[in-house]
Structure 1
Amino acid sequence: MHFLFFRNNAGIMFCPYDLSEDGFEIQFATNHIGHFHLTNLLLEKIKQTAKSTGIEGRIVNLSSVAHIHTYSGGIKFENINDERSYCDKRSYGQSKLANILHATELSRRLQAEGANVTVNSVHPGLIMTNLFKHSGFLMKILKFSTGILWKNVPQGAATTCYVALHPSLKCVTGKYFVDCNEFKPSAYARDEILAKRLWDFSNKIINAAEIDVKVS
């Protein structure tokens, strides 16, 4: 059995406050908006290919258990770029929450269209990679005290590969997976209204950025 899959994987974590070139908080911009925009750019091609070949398309968003540790309300829509209220840990959690909300809302929309494409999100686990470059000392302490829980890179890729390729997940969509098992995410991550609001908010950001590029 074959699947056509696309993975939103790139990210940054626990960064000092900064803004992207488009003027948005850097973790939210990199971990969510970049993936949201790239997915939108490729989505019609994925849907058309899935339809013409009969091969199920699969989109996988890499989230994190850190989505639980976010700001009050889940997403700071009204002051997403506020430096005074910025917390590097909560901002990372906010971006990882956005990954799940993006997956569930896109899944809902594709199901409504009858598209042969599924969208799920995963927590890959605790993996020591360059993602920790802004908090190396903290991560060394955590790894020393919780070493048995940490994974190497191949182990960390297992859940992503499972969700992207396993035949048993055919037509399974809008779910969150941990250690190759479906897992119940936070209440914010299950909030359909929040997911729809994030979708509209993200589109507004993308549209505004495109207008700025055309004007300049």
Structure 2
Amino acid sequence: MGIWGWPWGRRGLSGFGSASTAEDIAAGIDASHLTAIVTGATNGIGKETARVLALRGANVIIPARTLESGMKVKESLAEEVPSSKLHVMEMDLSSLDSVRSFAGSFNSSHKHLNVLINNAGIMACPFQLSKDGIELQFATNHLGHFLLTNLLLDKMKSTAKETGVQGRIVNLASTAHRRSDGKGFDLNKLNNESKSAICYSLLILFA
């Protein structure tokens, strides 16, 4: 068994396992009729997810804290996938106003939304408060995505009704919650600058 509790490389009921790549999973899929939003697509798992969705023909929206950082990723992905349909929009998940602004702009400029992948997250950063006065990890990892999903839900419902294609909301998770002490966390101490408060604000997204 691996240190996180699963046998390394073992395939699950889906036929895929930890050794499977995004291209393996998406092989043979035509996503040219789909529009997807991938948060955290400027690097890591999110960038790879956006790349493979673009490779399969999807219209991919990349929210980024700054348009500059988003455009750099778009250019990088376009070099790998010349036929890609990538669109960069500004959004800072730690700011509720920024999330509302993004959702409003998206809903007014895009007719459909089929897939929302909530991937972005920060971890183990120094204690900080967001613009809204909320502990930064909790604001980014949980509240930002919660608000974003709710603001886009009607668009996803109308898309499914108009196109007959069922939408998907994917929340990326971690097994890090298994390492908690099981006591949960105190919402009244959410902005407490203690290590435990910071850890629990991270784990709430992953639990």
Smaller-chain TM-score bracket: 0.3 to 0.5
More helix by share: 1
After TM superposition, the score normalised by the length of structure 1 is: 0.40
TM-score of the pair, normalised by structure 2: 0.42
